[in-house]
């Protein structure tokens, strides 16, 4: 880092032949400044390449709120998984016209110290926690430093009373499974999400419930981690266990995509031989051949609601949790 001292307001003022106070007024567009003084200061700012020192300013006049979006997942993942991209996009869009700053705190599960340091660093006034895992310790830190926070995705049992938004994952899982059942499928497997995430557990629970109500066996379960790579692997195992498989519910679109690819790679027709349903209704769902039948989980709605809740929280008011509805989006894969 260069040690060159940056020009201060004092320098600007001296060069313009006015006091620091007047220079400050010009910078802050205070109308009560004579035009000659104003111009001198402006010229001085330009010549010196002056930029106000944010730290000094916010020390006096606490500046605009900034909120952290906390994502305990690997960086690559956060930006390549359409779920996170959609969440981030919606958060930024929602706050586009507000002065609120958005800071991204991303760190892989193993590096939770990084997020903790960040949170404790005093950078932010509030947090939105996305994709939170059991025992990632984030809620403990947040509680300890008393930072207002909203969770996207229902927190785990231990963290009761925390404000969150979520989609109705159980119903969503049922909807997806029912679609397969209604289509006449009987040997239906599921590629479930990670069970240390509530969304993973709930979607699986939905599948179980629908299967149970239809009097079908709920033994065909394999686990992935919501990424594309994990879907294909899980399908292979499903197929080994049950060659007569005729339907698959994948707990994320990305996993569903690779399930379809794996199936097609083996010469198995989708949906002729095996029907596939995904979850999320992300952009990729329209790009597959055949287009993917999936469950709309309004990612955008999650993000928008979370932002609204956090802003309410920052105003000092209490908020309840919110559950958004899910909806089946029928396409051709099931």
**Applying CB under 7 A, which residues contact DNA?**
5-6, 8-10, 17-22, 24-25, 27-28, 31-34, 36-38, 50, 52-53, 56-57, 59-61
Binding mask 230-269 for its own copies (x = CB under 8 A): ---------------------------x------------
Which CB atom, from 66 or from 237, has the smaller least distance to its own copies? 66
- What would the two tokens of residue 311 be? 């802003």
Binding site partner of 9, from DNA, its own copies, none, Cβ cut-off 5-8 A by kind: DNA
Binding mask 84-103 for its own copies (x = CB under 8 A): -xx-xx--xx--x----xxx
Helix or strand (DSSP H, E) at 167: strand 164-167
- What would the two tokens of residue 65 be? 């709120």
- What would the two tokens of residue 169 be? 């994952």
CA distance 98 to 39: 30
* Residue 79 interacts with its own copies (CB under 8 A): yes or no: yes
Task: Locate all alpha helices (DSSP H) within 266-327, ordered by sequence.
Answer: 284-287, 299-314
CA distance 268 to 238: 14
Q: How far is the CB of 313 from DNA (least distance, A)?
A: 22
Mutual angle of helices 9-16 and 35-48, in 10-degree steps:
120
CA distance 122 to 124: 6
* Residue 58 interacts with its own copies (CB under 8 A): yes or no: yes
Among positions 14, 221, 284, 323, the unique one binding its own copies when judged by CB under 8 A: 284
CA distance 217 to 208: 9
Binding site partner of 28, from DNA, its own copies, none, Cβ cut-off 5-8 A by kind: DNA
Count, in order, helices (H) and strands (E) of the chain: 14, 12
Mutual angle of helices 82-94 and 299-314, in 10-degree steps:
40
Q: How far is the CB of 201 from its own copies (least distance, A)?
A: 27
Question: Which range binds its own copies by CB under 8 A, 128-136, 141-149, 157-165, 233-241?
Answer: 141-149
* Residue 227 interacts with its own copies (CB under 8 A): yes or no: no
Contact 189, 242 (CB under 8 A): yes
Question: Which range binds its own copies by CB under 8 A, 140-148, 186-194, 209-217, 231-239?
Answer: 140-148
Binding site partner of 323, from its own copies, DNA, none, Cβ cut-off 5-8 A by kind: none
Among positions 80, 98, 195, 213, the unique one binding its own copies when judged by CB under 8 A: 80
DSSP designation for 218: -
Q: Which of residues 15-34 bind its own copies (CB under 8 A)?
A: none
What own/partner pairs with CB < 8 Å and gap ≥ 24 does 47-56 have? 47/15, 48/7, 48/11, 48/12, 48/15, 49/7, 50/6, 50/7, 50/8, 50/9, 50/11, 50/12, 51/6, 52/9, 52/27, 53/6, 53/8
Q: How far is the CB of 92 from its own copies (least distance, A)?
A: 4
Binding mask 104-133 for its own copies (x = CB under 8 A): x-xx---x--x-----xxxx-x--------
Residues that bind its own copies (CB under 8 A): 1-2, 46, 49, 51-59, 62-63, 65, 75-76, 78-80, 82, 85-86, 88-89, 92-93, 96, 101-104, 106-107, 111, 114, 120-123, 125, 144-147, 257, 283-284, 287-289, 314-316
């Amino acid at each position: 880092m260069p040690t060159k001292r940056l020009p201060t307001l004092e320098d600007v003022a001296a060069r313009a032949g006015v006091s620091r106070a007047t220079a400050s007024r010009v910078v802050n567009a205070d109308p009560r400044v004579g035009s000659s003084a104003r111009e001198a200061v402006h010229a001085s700012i330009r010549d010196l390449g002056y930029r106000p020192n944010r730290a000094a300013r916010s020390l006096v006049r606490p500046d605009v709120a900034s909120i952290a979006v906390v994502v305990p997942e690997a960086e690559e993942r956060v930006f390549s998984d359409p779920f996170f991209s959609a969440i981030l996009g919606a958060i930024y869009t929602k706050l586009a016209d507000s002065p609120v700053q958005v800071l991204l705190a991303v760190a892989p599960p193993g590096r939770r110290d990084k997020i903790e340091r960040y949170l404790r660093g005093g950078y932010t006034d509030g947090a939105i926690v996305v994709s939170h895992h059991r025992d990632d310790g984030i809620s403990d830190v947040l509680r300890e430093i008393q930072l207002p926070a909203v969770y996207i995705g229902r927190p785990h049992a231990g963290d009761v009373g925390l404000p969150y938004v979520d989609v109705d994952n159980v119903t969503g899982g049922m909807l997806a499974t029912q679609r397969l059942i209604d289509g006449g499928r009987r040997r239906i497997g599921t590629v479930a999400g990670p069970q240390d995430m509530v969304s993973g557990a709930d979607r699986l629970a939905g599948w179980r419930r629908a299967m149970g109500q239809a009097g079908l066996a709920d033994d065909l379960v394999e686990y992935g981690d919501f990424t594309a790579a994990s879907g294909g692997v899980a399908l292979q195992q499903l197929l080994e266990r049950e060659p007569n498989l005729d339907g698959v519910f994948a707990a994320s679109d990305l996993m569903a995509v690779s399930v379809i690819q794996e199936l097609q790679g083996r010469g198995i027709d989708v949906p002729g031989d095996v029907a596939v349903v995904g979850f999320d209704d992300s952009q990729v769902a329209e790009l597959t051949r055949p287009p993917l039948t999936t469950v709309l989980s309004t990612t955008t709605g999650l993000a928008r609601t979370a932002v609204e809740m956090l802003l309410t929280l920052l105003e000092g008011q209490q908020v309840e949790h919110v559950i958004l509805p899910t909806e089946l989006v029928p396409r051709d894969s099931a």
